[in-house]
Amino acid sequence: MELIQKISRIPLFEGLPPDQLNDLAGIALEKSFERGRVVFSEGQSAHGFFIVTSGKVKIFKISPDGKEQILHLFGPGEPFGEVPVFEGRPFPAHAIALADSRFIFFPRTAFVELIKNNPSLALNMLAVLSRRLRRFTVLVDDLSLKEVPGRLAAHLLYLSNQQQDKDDIELEMPKGQLAGLLGTIPETLSRILAKMSKQELIAIDGRFINIKDRQGLIDLAEGSTRL
């Protein structure tokens, strides 16, 4: 597919006139990363940001002893690595491709120039960053004020939502990953899933989960019940 076509489908660039899309295509570069490849590392200096066109990328922090906390998982259409663009400091976290992926790369200075001439691009970017701040707000709230079962329940409900509110949902990643996303470790996640299953809140079959007691999960997520 043409680069310009790909660009025109990205939500961040929604509503831009054709000539501006052209300008964007003029500065953009396509890059491929195999599954498992490091896209950038915390502390590295940044010369631009990325948008996923295919595949999946994980943004995460890691502690000296190897525990990891996932900050974001991004798929097609989503930008990442923008913070340094507007702030001029190194990347604040690590990024790894979780699948063979293609990204469009926008060099920092050229992109900033484009924004200067394009208020609606600026507003779109402000909206992206705002949404991300809101998400972090939720993440901090979860990590600091909820326990793991509550976070897991919230996540299951979120997945159900994403997947047309069915009661049958699929965890879209290995359970070890999910643990990192929820701020815990695989063993703990495993135990809690087992407990939820024992209490008939859910039924587990590999990475497929059936929600048997939605209200029970809601209560857990809100912190009004405990497991």
Q: Which residues bind a copy of itself (CB under 8 A)?
A: 61-65, 67, 69, 71, 82-87, 89, 92-93, 112, 115-117, 119-120, 122-123, 125-127, 129-134, 136-141, 143-146, 183, 222-224
Cβ neighbors of 186 (< 8 A, separation 6 or more) are 175, 176, 179
Half-sphere exposure for 171 (CA within 13 Å, toward CB): 23
**Minimum distance, C-beta of residue 133 to DNA, in the bound complex (Å):** 24
Task: Tell which residue, 117, 140, 118, 120, has the closest CA to residue 128.
Answer: 120
Of all helices (H) and strands (E), which one includes residue 222? helix 214-222
Window 62-91: residues binding DNA (CB under 7 A):
65, 67
**Minimum distance, C-beta of residue 36 to a copy of itself, in the bound complex (Å):** 22
- Beta carbon nearer to DNA, 48 or 55: 55
- Beta carbon nearer to DNA, 116 or 207: 207
Which among a copy of itself, DNA, none contacts residue 139 (Cβ within 5 to 8 A by kind)? a copy of itself
Cβ neighbors of 9 (< 8 A, separation 6 or more) are 77
Which among DNA, a copy of itself, none contacts residue 147 (Cβ within 5 to 8 A by kind)? DNA
Q: At what angle do helices 175-182 and 186-198 cross, to 10 degrees?
A: 100
